[in-house]
Amino acid sequence: MRWGLWTLAARAARGPCSLCTRQSSAAQALGSGATIFALSSGQGRCGIAVIRTSGPSSSHALRSLTAPRDLPPARSARLRLLSDPRSGEPLDRALVLWFPGPHSFTGEDCVELHVHGGPAVVSGVLQALGSVPGLRPAEAGEFTRRAFAHGKLNLTEVEGLADLIHAETEAQRRQALRQLDGELGQLCCDWAETLTKALAHVEAYIDFGEDDNLEEGVLEQGGSAGGWKVQTGGILAPKVSSDSLPSACLPPHTADSKVRALEVALDTHLRDARRGQRLRSGAHVVVTGPPNAGKSSLVNLLSRKPVSIVSPEPGTTRDVLETPVDLAGFPALLSDTAGLRDGVGPVEQEGVRRARERLEQADLIVAVLDASDLASPSSRNFLDTVVVPRGGQSSGGSTQRLLLVLNKSDLLPPQGPGPCPALPPHLLLSCLTGEGLDGLLETLKTELAAVCGDPSTGPPLLTRARHRHHLQGCLDALSHYKGAEDLALAAEALRVARRHLAHLAGGGGTEEILDVIFRDFCVGK
Amino acid 423: pLDDT: 82
Amino acid 209: pLDDT: 57
Length of the chain as a residue count: 525
* pLDDT tens digits along 56-74: 999 999 999 998 788 999 9
The residues of the chain scoring below 70 in pLDDT are: 1-32, 208-254, 315, 343, 391-398, 415-421, 507-514, 516-517, 519-520
The candidate with the shortest Cα–Cα distance to 218, out of 254, 188, 246, 164, is 254
Q: Which long-range contacts (CB under 8 A, 24 or more apart) does 433-437 make?
A: 434/301, 435/409, 435/410, 436/409, 437/301
Amino acid 213: pLDDT: 52
CB atoms within 10 A of CB 302: 25
Amino acid 396: pLDDT: 45
SS3 string, 475-512, reads HHHHHHHHHCCEHHHHHHHHHHHHHHHHHHHCCCCCHH
Amino acid 490: pLDDT: 87
* Strand-pair partners of 288: 367
* pLDDT tens digits along 258-314: 888 999 999 999 988 888 988 988 899 999 999 888 889 999 999 988 887 777 777
Predicted TM-score (pTM) of the model is 0.76
CB atoms within 10 A of CB 88: 8
Domains in the chain with CATH codes: 4-153 (3.30.1360.120), 185-270+463-518 (1.20.120), 276-452 (3.40.50.300)
CB atoms within 10 A of CB 277: 18
Amino acid 28: pLDDT: 44
Q: Which amino acid is at 115?
A: V
- Pairwise CA distance, residues 100 & 92, whole Å: 23
Which three-class secondary structure state does DSSP give residue 91? Answer: strand
Amino acid 388: pLDDT: 86
Q: Is-contact 114 50, C-beta < 8 A?
A: yes
Q: Is-contact 116 493, C-beta < 8 A?
A: no
Amino acid 406: pLDDT: 94
